[in-house]
Amino acid sequence: MSAEEALIAAGVRIVDAGLSPGSSGNLSIRDADRILITASGTSLGRLTAGDISVIDLDGTHVGGIRPSKEWPLHVAFYRRDEAHRAVVHLHSPYAVAWSCLEPWAEHSAIPPLTPYFVMRVGQTPLMPYRHPGDSSLGTDLLASPWKLRAALMANHGSVVAGKDLDDAVDRAVELEEACRIALLTATTKRRILDEAQVCELAAEWGSPWGELADVN
């Protein structure tokens, strides 16, 4: 499957999961020194090759349609870690709702209520509010001191990276579920996983939790 075909397939999967209202959200995949990224205002469920832009690792537009205005988020994830080969940014309802609340902790806005969130996503810090398209969205993500492969942006939504698009979409789905469960239990006396349980899961599955990252 080509990079373009992978983006189109991922867009359909995201819409079918109910995670992309209207024309919201954007996807990208890294292909050597190029980033293929969807354009702003496109429906992820009806992507065509003409809806895909090409930028370089500095964000310079080098081919195709104009890229999504959220391209700084994508570039930041690729610059943070060579292992990140795909990025999914969504305005899915539960992630957006949770991003409007105060974070559970500095290293993770979402509490460790289920093992699957820890295993598949890991710590997910809350980035400061910036208006959509602000280049500081990328700057904030790049400068975050926490090791991460997902983040919430205050009053905005989620951004998730993976080793490929399937991996990134899987994590975005799990993150949405974690936010849904967090909201459902927010007004109850809930039980979260304790530190030993979380650390055991993170170590076994290689997911980030409580870890600082080396960032420029």
Does residue 28 fall inside a structural domain?
yes
CATH, residue 177: 3.40.225.10
Please give the model's pTM, rounded to 2 decimal places: 0.95
Does residue 168 fall inside a structural domain?
yes
Q: What is the predicted pLDDT for the residue at 41?
A: 86
Of 52, 57, 64, nearest to 82 by C-alpha is 57
Does residue 213 fall inside a structural domain?
no
Of 2, 53, 3, 28, nearest to 172 by C-alpha is 28
68's tokens: 């999504």
Query: Residue 177 sits in which domain range?
Result: 3-205
What are the angstrom distances between the C-alpha of 150 and each of 19, 47, 124, 133? 16, 24, 5, 18
Does residue 211 fall inside a structural domain?
no
Hey, which bits of 106-175 come out as E strands? 126-127, 150-153, 157-162
pLDDT per residue of the chain (216 residues) written in tens, 0 to 9: 899 999 999 999 999 999 988 878 999 999 999 999 999 888 999 999 999 999 999 999 999 999 999 999 999 999 999 999 999 999 999 999 999 999 999 999 999 999 999 999 999 999 999 999 899 999 999 999 999 999 999 999 999 999 999 999 999 999 999 999 999 999 999 999 999 999 999 999 999 999 888 754
Q: What is the predicted pLDDT for the residue at 1?
A: 82
Does residue 121 fall inside a structural domain?
yes
Q: What is the predicted pLDDT for the residue at 98?
A: 98
Does residue 216 fall inside a structural domain?
no
Q: What is the predicted pLDDT for the residue at 215?
A: 54
CA 196 to chain centre: 26
Total domain count for the chain? 1
Residues taking part in catalysis: 70, 116
